[in-house]
Chain A
Amino acid sequence: MAVCVAVIAKENYPLYIRSIPTENELKFHYMVHTSLDVVDEKISAMGKALVDQRELYLGLLYPTEDYKLNCWA
């Protein structure tokens, strides 16, 4: 089940973050923020190819103990 949805601007600030109210909101904010490390790295590694191929799904960013983070660029 999706527990948190976030939309991030290309300057890496959050445009929208909503998580299920039963959980600690701050935890998800940190999780989304730290996952940007991986997004940055993936995007810089793929660079132009990403834009050219319109391959927007960056895949599973990384598994944390309890959650899985997926990202679309």
Chain B
Amino acid sequence: MSPTQWDFPVELCCRPMAFVTLTGLDVVYNAVHRAVWDAFCANRRADRVPISFKVLPGDHEYPKCRPKRTSYEWYIPKGILKTGWMNKHLNLVPALVVVFYELDWDEPQWKEKQSECATRVEIVRQSLQGRNTKVAVVLIQKKTPLPPGEDVTASERAAALCNACELSGKSLFVLPHTDHLVGYIIRLENAFYEHAQTYYYTEIRRVKSHKEFLNKTTHQLLFVRHQFKIAFFSELKQDTQNALKNYRTAYNLVHELRAHETNILEIKTMAGFINYKICRLCFQHNTPLDAIAQFRKHIDLCKKKIGSAELSFEHAAWMSKQFQAFGDLFDEAIKLGLTAIQTQNPGFYYQQAAYYAQERKQLAKSLCNHEASVTYPNPDPLETQTGVLDFYGQRSWRQGILSFDLSDPEKEKVGVLAIQLKERSVVHSEMIITLLSNAVAQFKKYKCPRMKSHLMVQMGEEYYYAKDYTKALKLLDYVMCDYRSEGWWTLLTSILTTALKCSYLMAQLKDYITYSLELLGRASTLKDDQKSRIEKNLINVLMNESPDPEPDCDVLAVKTAQKLWSDRISLAGSNVFTIGVQDFVPFVQCKAKFHAPSFHVDVPVRFDIYLKADCPHPIRFSKLCVSFNNQITSVDLVLGHETGRCVVLNWQGGGGDAASSQEALQASRSFKRRPRLPDNELHWDSIVIQASTMIISRVPNISVHLRHDPPALTNEMYCLVVTVESHEKTQIRDVKLTAGLKPGQDANLTQKTHMSLHGTELCDESYPALLTDIPVGDLHPGEKLEKMLYVRCGTVGSRMFLVYVSYLINTTIEDKEIVCKCHKDETVTIETVFPFDVAVKFVSTKFEHLERVYADIPFLLMTDLLSASPWALTIVSSELQLAPSMTPVDQLESQVDKVVLQTGESASECFCLRCPSVGNVEGGVATGHYIISWKRTSAMGNVPVISTVITLPHVIVENIPLHVNADLPSFGRVRESLPVKYHLQNKTNLVQDVEISVEPSDAFMFSGLKQIRLRILPGTEQEMLYNFYPLMAGYQQLPSLNVNLLRFPHFTNQLLRRFIPTSIFVKPQGRLVDDTSIAAA
């Protein structure tokens, strides 16, 4: 787009840089000069000083300086700021003119050269007369200069040259044309920069000095002008802090100006410029909040300053520009690292700019609607002699006139007309769309999806006004679903209305139909008369006729559209439109519902399709199709006929559209009570879509019974008797039984449960946990069959068993014979328990409990079998299988054969064993296994015997150094000698020193060695013989034998007592006479 009246001038928007001109350089034909110039221009990065260079001929004419005003008394300014002023100081009046001149210090013709150089300087000075512009001379030299002070000729000649040119030594430079050109150039330009800053400083002082001559009545404009100039020179000097300060002052001053309709544009234009500068500098100083605050203030101050009502579109254009420029500044600052937020980002400013652009369009439409006969005035009042205005923001036909009264109302009228007619050719939509799309890009970035959608709607509408209906429709169609999904029906209706117009104007059949369907629907907030009109149009379209135009459409566009519609009618081709409703809210609602969540195979499946039309007038449908597989996959409703146009509304599943889920949610939260309806009517909201149903098998008519004696005993063949009885009216066929562990339980149970049909043999691991599809033949009505199943459970615990009976039966449904498969299942939980508890203990030959046994010394193994079964058990046999480390002392035959145990009864056995010395074994020595063969007492003879193997506990075996056993009778008699022989066996490989003593007892007298010390050789035995003489009858304590082993102090008498008896039963003395007398009696 070419710059318009409202765009800011480039000289305002650029960054002001010191202006320095270079003369005496022939950059076209002289390679050295070219290289010098390139070094100045190339690579001007941020680290170089901000100077704008220009190469000019030595005799260039600079703008003439006006003669200095000696008094302001009679001076009346004609405007605030001249349009050429900024450009003049940026690009025309230099801060410094540099004269390049090729001259070496040892130049033979020095005099001539020196004077030529002086002439050149003089020419430049002439041209700059009256200005404070600095002049500097750069000598381009072929030779590298000597260090300062060493070259006497150089210093002399330099002084002479300065003198000749009237230059200070600081303004003469030497540029050796050697390898380090860029380095020299950078040093040079730094020096130039200093000169330039001095120049601008002087300029600021100069402008400031005018102030004292000004008075507030006639020179109001100058206050602003001077303040602006000071600020601008400060910018050129790169003093942005002072520039900002002075712009702020200038801004306040501009609003102090007396405003009138005639100068309001000038005031606003300048306020806009200064505001732009302030905001720009605030962003540059990284104080964005200051920029925003200034801009807000600016808008607040200016938005009511509309000016001439006939040209109010100008104000809107100006406002739009203010916002757009601020948006640009904001965006630029973000690109340089500023962080924006959701609620404060450039998007809002672009949006507002678009808003004012729209307003401008509206105002222009109403103010510039001149009739065709009104022609553009001639001569053109907007033309000026120079082609530009003298002052910013003035009217071309009354430039420099400060009076608030319109001296020439006729001229004013013509000027206004010219502006109005010019505004007509402005393509407003294009500007609006550009601004909107800028805003869209920003809001997308700052997570404002709804704002983005809103702006896209506006863009779509603008495209519609611009008659680009394709783009309009594309945008509107894109955002529609956002409003639909969030249920903003008013907004959706508004968008749809525009979309319908677009589709009408383009004669887009399918879109036209779709939008009509939705605008007639419940999501539409249109009034009934509008709906009626749309419905009528829709019916026309379906009958292959043209619809009436939409209201408020452009007349020409309607003409074109009517032609398009009539072409559509004559065109043959596909007239069937299938429209999926799930993405929008059509005017027909559909709900499909099966009568029940499930149906049996032998029952007809019933369902209802409910339809509800939301359009104002009745509408006729031609067809309804329902598609199925296992559920209702879709419902198609056909509007119109193939002969005309035909619309197929397609509901996926059992109905529902884009609004249904939200409505359901709303209904669920609503406290509204529905009014009662007659019995044959339904509330639409109360109909719940049920698009699928379960088809289940026919109800079985058989009974399945289970008979068994729980609990099951571990490992037994547990018998389950299944009875199946048919209650069907006809014969049932192919009856099959599936029985066993119910699937889905602990996987370990499957390993430890086995099913068999045969109870006579034990089943092993190879038998399955579930027997499937055992054929049991056919059953006549009332017939009963029984099947025995056996299960063997290897572990205790409860298990669920399943018995599943399936069969086939022929039935007649609606005069059709079908074969139904029926089934019935029963589950039962069976507990498995151990049949008996087995306790095992080790005792000494004295029946004393043993923690451990002693090597080579006999001990007793006692088993105790306690029945835990609620049923009587028969112990068929038992067997002790000894480990190799154990040897029996006598025969190991079962003592419990054929014993029957009732619940809680127990059977014990006792075996005498011996364990040879094995050394020290960690954890003890294995004893062996105890095997019990048993069955239920009630079981038949052919039921197999179950062997339960009990692993006997390990026992710790200990070696002892000395074993003592005693030979003594089983009882004594008072006053009868009782011989006792102690055997002392040395169980070690050592010779043992043994101290033996016998402590007397009150009940006995005794003879024998009372105390002795002796030695027993390894592996041998020593006998000690005593004669005890009992004195009292009863259970008496024997005189105790004490043994002390000198090598084994730990061998205690306590240990000894385990082997030898400590007491004996003494019978009273017998009476021989009595004995005989009894015998005689």
Binding site for B on A (CB under 8 A): 9, 11-14, 17, 25-26, 29-30, 33-34, 36-38, 41, 61-62, 65
Contact = CB atoms under 8 A, between A and B. Distances in A.
Contacts of B451: 34, 37
A65 B486 CA distance: 26
Given A33-B450, A61-B343, A65-B355, A11 B662 contact: yes
Nearest to B487: A13
A25 B490 contact: yes
Contacts of B457: 30
Contacts, number: 55
Contacts of B344: 62
Contacts of A65: 299, 352, 355
Contact of A13 (B448, B450, B494, B662): B662
B456 to A, nearest CB: 12
Contacts of B427: none
13 contacts: A11-B665, A12-B486, A12-B487, A13-B486, A17-B490, A30-B454, A30-B491, A33-B450, A33-B491, A38-B448, A61-B343, A62-B348, A65-B299
Contact of A14 (B348, B449, B488): B488
A34 B454 contact: yes
B interface SS class: helix
B490 A34 contact: no
Contacts of A41: 342, 447
Given A14-B487, A26-B490, A33-B454, 20 more contacts: A11-B486, A11-B662, A12-B486, A13-B486, A13-B487, A13-B488, A17-B490, A25-B490, A26-B494, A29-B488, A29-B491, A30-B457, A33-B450, A33-B486, A36-B450, A37-B342, A37-B447, A37-B450, A61-B343, A62-B343
Contacts of B448: 34, 37-38
Contacts of B348: 62
A57 to B, nearest CB: 16
A40 B342 CA distance: 11
Contacts of A9: 666
Contacts of A36: 450
Nearest to B323: A65
Nearest to B356: A65
B364 to A, nearest CB: 20
B490 A29 contact: yes
A28 B535 CA distance: 29
Contacts of B355: 65
Interface string B455-492: 00100000000000000000000000001001110110
A33 B488 contact: yes
Contacts of A62: 343-344, 348
Interface centre among B299, B343, B352, B666 (most CB of A within 10 A): B343
A13 B450 CA distance: 13
The 5 closest A-B pairs by CB, nearest first: A13-B487, A37-B448, A62-B343, A34-B451, A34-B450
Contacts of A17: 490
Contacts of B666: 9
Interface string B659-699: 00010011000000000000000000000000000000000
A20 to B, nearest CB: 16
B321 to A, nearest CB: 15
A41 B450 CA distance: 12
Interface string B481-509: 00100111011001000000000000000
Interface in B636-679: 662, 665-666
Contacts of A38: 342-343, 448
Contact of A37 (B299, B449, B487): B449
Interface in B756-811: none
Interface of B: 299, 342-344, 348, 352, 355, 443, 447-451, 454, 457, 483, 486-488, 490-491, 494, 662, 665-666
A13 B342 CA distance: 22
Nearest to A41: B342
B647 to A, nearest CB: 28
A30 B490 CA distance: 9
Contacts of A29: 488, 490-491
B461 to A, nearest CB: 11
A25 B451 CA distance: 17
Which of A30, A38, A61 neighbours the largest number of chain B CB atoms within 10 Å of its CB? A30
Nearest to A30: B454
Nearest to B296: A63
A52 B344 CA distance: 28
Nearest to A37: B448
A27 to B, nearest CB: 10
A33 to B, nearest CB: 5
Nearest to A60: B343
A25 B491 CA distance: 10
Contacts of B486: 11-13, 33
Q: Which of B352, B447, B490 has the most CB of A within 10 A?
A: B490
Contacts of A13: 486-488, 662
B778 to A, nearest CB: 61
Contacts of B494: 26
A37 B442 CA distance: 14
A30 B863 CA distance: 93
A37 B352 CA distance: 18
B11 to A, nearest CB: 30
A29 B492 CA distance: 11
A34 B448 CA distance: 8
Contacts of A34: 448, 450-451, 454
Nearest to A26: B494
Contacts of A26: 490-491, 494
A23 B343 CA distance: 25
Nearest to B455: A34
A65 B299 CA distance: 9
A13 B585 CA distance: 16
A71 to B, nearest CB: 12
A41 B443 CA distance: 13
A6 to B, nearest CB: 11
Contacts of B490: 14, 17, 25-26, 29
A2 B914 CA distance: 107
A23 B348 CA distance: 22
Nearest to A25: B490
A32 to B, nearest CB: 9
Contacts of B491: 26, 29-30, 33
Nearest to B303: A65
A73 to B, nearest CB: 16
B326 to A, nearest CB: 13
B125 to A, nearest CB: 56
A41 B345 CA distance: 15
Most buried by B among A12, A33, A38, A61: A33
A11 B623 CA distance: 37
A38 B662 CA distance: 22
Nearest to B662: A13
Nearest to B482: A33
Contacts of A30: 454, 457, 491
A65 B490 CA distance: 23
Contacts of A33: 450, 454, 483, 486, 488, 491
A34 to B, nearest CB: 4
A58 B127 CA distance: 68
A12 B449 CA distance: 13
B357 to A, nearest CB: 14
A19 to B, nearest CB: 11
A50 to B, nearest CB: 17
Nearest to B319: A65
A30 B453 CA distance: 10
A24 to B, nearest CB: 11
B494 to A, nearest CB: 6
A34 B352 CA distance: 14
Contacts of A11: 486-487, 662, 665
Nearest to B299: A65
A17 B449 CA distance: 21
Name, among A12, A29, A34, A36, the residue most crowded by chain B CB atoms within 10 Å (CB to CB): A34
